[in-house]
Structure 1
Amino acid sequence: MPQLPKILRGSLTTKISPGGTPGSFHLPCRKVVIEYCETNPSSKGTRDFLLSQCKDLAKRTPSTEFVVKQRPGKHPIVRGFYLNNRTKEISLQNLAATGVLPKVQLLLDSSGNKITSLKRRPVESVTESARGIWSALHDTGKDI
């Protein structure tokens, strides 16, 4: 089985640890898988991206592994795998080669966490309430 070029595999020899060493930074995205079809017209932009810009992107991000797979008869997708064991998937259907790079960069810059709403965040207070913390153990059972 032929080995993938080192350019596409990235530098996997460095150990990625949660603490890391002082002065080192690793992207939360550990692996990017680009899947495309060789004959499907919706994959044309993805094929052009792989021929022109993928090697440069892999060189710029050595801590991320890049894998290219064929997906016959289906639309192209890019899938990101993160250090927190989550994955994100983005469709590349009918995108031009210049439109594929921002989608891949979006996965690289993402943390992998779930998207949370900023409008309905629970109220968190740093001070105690006047009545203290309620507990079912302190309930006497008397109904008023």
Structure 2
Amino acid sequence: MSNKNLFLKSGFLRAPLQNGVGRYVCQLQRIVLKFCKSNGSSRGIRDYIEQDLVEFAEQNPGVVVYLKPRRHRAPIVVGEYLNGDRVWMSMHNKTHSEITKWIEVLRTQQGDVAATRLRKYQSTDHPSIQGPWTPFTFKLPELNTATLPNVKYGENNRLAPSATEQLRRLFEKQKLDEKDLKTAE
């Protein structure tokens, strides 16, 4: 494990259960647009506020939109999600169309999953009460005390002959039958 994981928060990967099965619940709870009214680096976000913000708010009634003007500061967008995650993005010198795309990205994701060190890579909604499967789950208990190699537990003794082996036997039998016919004539 590398050192970069030391500074990431650790957690489990939990998607909202069955989100979208009955109805979709947008995971973005609130979005804060911080910008300067006069700074040139905030021009793109000011254009977005003037042209598209009202339409965004009408299309997403479950998302609370805050505008926070700040003097002589670079513009940023902060998205807060239902699971408690906060995603901070700098919009310094971004155009109106780039800001539109990034806000759409914030709207459609479910938090900052990339900045989480996963403690467990598998998860399920219905865990097994029998325990996890292992390669030894269905092995005979007698194998624990047997001295190996043992002819009784050999894999080749339990397996049926393969298709290649059956074809070889048929071919040998056919050769023998042909020899018997030639000797009989």
TM-score tier (shorter): 0.5 to 0.7
Aligned mates of 1:65, 1:123 — CA distance in 2: 33
- Summarize deviations over 1:35-57 as a string: whole Å, max 9, x none: 00011100001101100011111
Q: Structure 1 residue 114: deviation in Å?
A: 1.9
Q: Structure 1 residue 116: deviation in Å?
A: 6.9
Q: Which residue of structure 2 lines up, in the alignment, with residue 114 of structure 1?
A: 113
Aligned mates of 2:59, 2:84 — CA distance in 1: 23
Q: Structure 1 residue 130: deviation in Å?
A: 2.7
2:136 to 113, 116, 130: 130
Aligned length: 110
Unpaired segments ≥5 residues, structure 1 = 1-17, 132-144
Q: Structure 1 residue 73: deviation in Å?
A: 1.2
- Shift of the 63–76 alpha-carbon distance from structure 1 to 2, 3 Å rule, reads same
Q: Structure 1 residue 66: deviation in Å?
A: 0.7
Q: Which residue of structure 2 lines up, in the alignment, with residue 105 of structure 1?
A: 104
- Summarize deviations over 1:89-130 as a string: whole Å, max 9, x none: 11111011111100111111111142179xxx9589x52243
Q: Which residue of structure 2 lines up, in the alignment, with residue 70 of structure 1?
A: 69
Unpaired segments ≥5 residues, structure 2 = 1-16, 124-131, 138-185
- Shift of the 23–52 alpha-carbon distance from structure 1 to 2, 3 Å rule, reads same
Aligned mates of 1:33, 1:123 — CA distance in 2: 34
The one-letter code sitting in structure 2 at the alignment partner of 1:60 is Q
Q: Which residue of structure 1 lines up, in the alignment, with residue 85 of structure 2?
A: 86
- SS in structure 2 of the partner of residue 67 of structure 1: strand
- SS in structure 2 of the partner of residue 72 of structure 1: coil
- Shift of the 51–116 alpha-carbon distance from structure 1 to 2, 3 Å rule, reads closer
Percent of residue pairs identical: 22
Q: Which residue of structure 2 lines up, in the alignment, with residue 26 of structure 1?
A: 25
Aligned mates of 2:54, 2:25 — CA distance in 1: 19
RMSD across aligned positions (CA):
3.0
Q: Which residue of structure 2 lines up, in the alignment, with residue 60 of structure 1?
A: 59
The one-letter code sitting in structure 2 at the alignment partner of 1:90 is M
Aligned mates of 1:123, 1:70 — CA distance in 2: 43
Q: Provide the TM-score with structure 2 as the length reference.
A: 0.52
